[in-house]
Structure 1
């Protein structure tokens, strides 16, 4: 894990809303460089707000490695998590991602 990633995650975990935003925006343009780290953080994170941001960052990576996590989160009870999973799958734009989205829409999991 690089210092850049660690610092951004530290900021995203502070209580200061501006510093949290700063951490998110530090990672956003470099999300693809940290896909494995983001997936690991998402898997361990308990804070729902931070999980939403992490999933948004994961979707921004457009990495095939994100497919299982994004697909799984389409079934989350949290509507915002489902939204960011769908956005991430749309950005991924692979045949597998499109199939997962089609099934979720057909089942009424997402709109």
Structure 2
């Protein structure tokens, strides 16, 4: 087993270091490129096909989200994190509620609602108290 460190995520993820893993990661890189496309149809096609899954997937989405320098791309990646439904991303999405861009905060709220659970609800309620206009 090999390991890959994701500095922006602050985690090291174990993986199989064989040809199948490399092929999977190449396909994943191509999928991420389509997700980040400015062409809405390219994005929608990628969004509606079977997604990659596993800890590498979540870590990579978080890294890509943190590196996104525009709200359009960042919002799409936040949406994907919410759709993935992984409770481990709730604190990461909660940090997005502090983003200066209203659109990013809206995507983060949507993702937290999608994930659900006690922790996500707590962050949504805290945000409602701090910025009630975001929830109108």
Q: TM-score, normalised by structure 2?
A: 0.68
- How many Å apart are 1:17 and its aligned residue? 4.6
| Equivalent residue number for residue 63 of structure 2 | 40
1:70 aligns with 2:103: no
Verify: 1:89 aligned to 2:112, yes or no: yes
Structure 1 residue aligned with 2:16: none
Q: Is the 8 A contact 2:93 2:108 kept in 1?
A: yes
**Relative to total residues, which structure has the larger helix share, 1 or 2?**
1
Structure 1 25/73 Cα, relative in aligned 2: closer, same or farther at 3 Å? same
Distance across 2 between alignment mates of 1:4 and 1:73: 28
Q: 1:30 aligns with which of 43, 51, 57?
A: 51
| Higher strand fraction (1 or 2) | 2
Counterpart contact for 2:75–2:107, Cα < 8 Å: yes
Cα deviation for residue 16 of structure 1 reads 4.4
Paired residue total: 109
Give the CA deviation at 1:31. 6.0
| Structure 1: distance between partners of 2:124 and 2:38 | 35
Match of 1:59 in 2: 82
How big is the alpha-carbon RMSD for the aligned residues of Structure 1 and Structure 2?
2.2
Higher RCO (CA 8 Å, separation ≥ 6 residues): 1
Question: Which secondary structure does the structure 2 equivalent of 1:59 belong to?
Answer: helix
Alignment match of 1:19 (pick from 42, 64, 71): 42
- TM-score computed with the length of structure 1 as normaliser: 0.80
Structure with max Cα Rg: 2
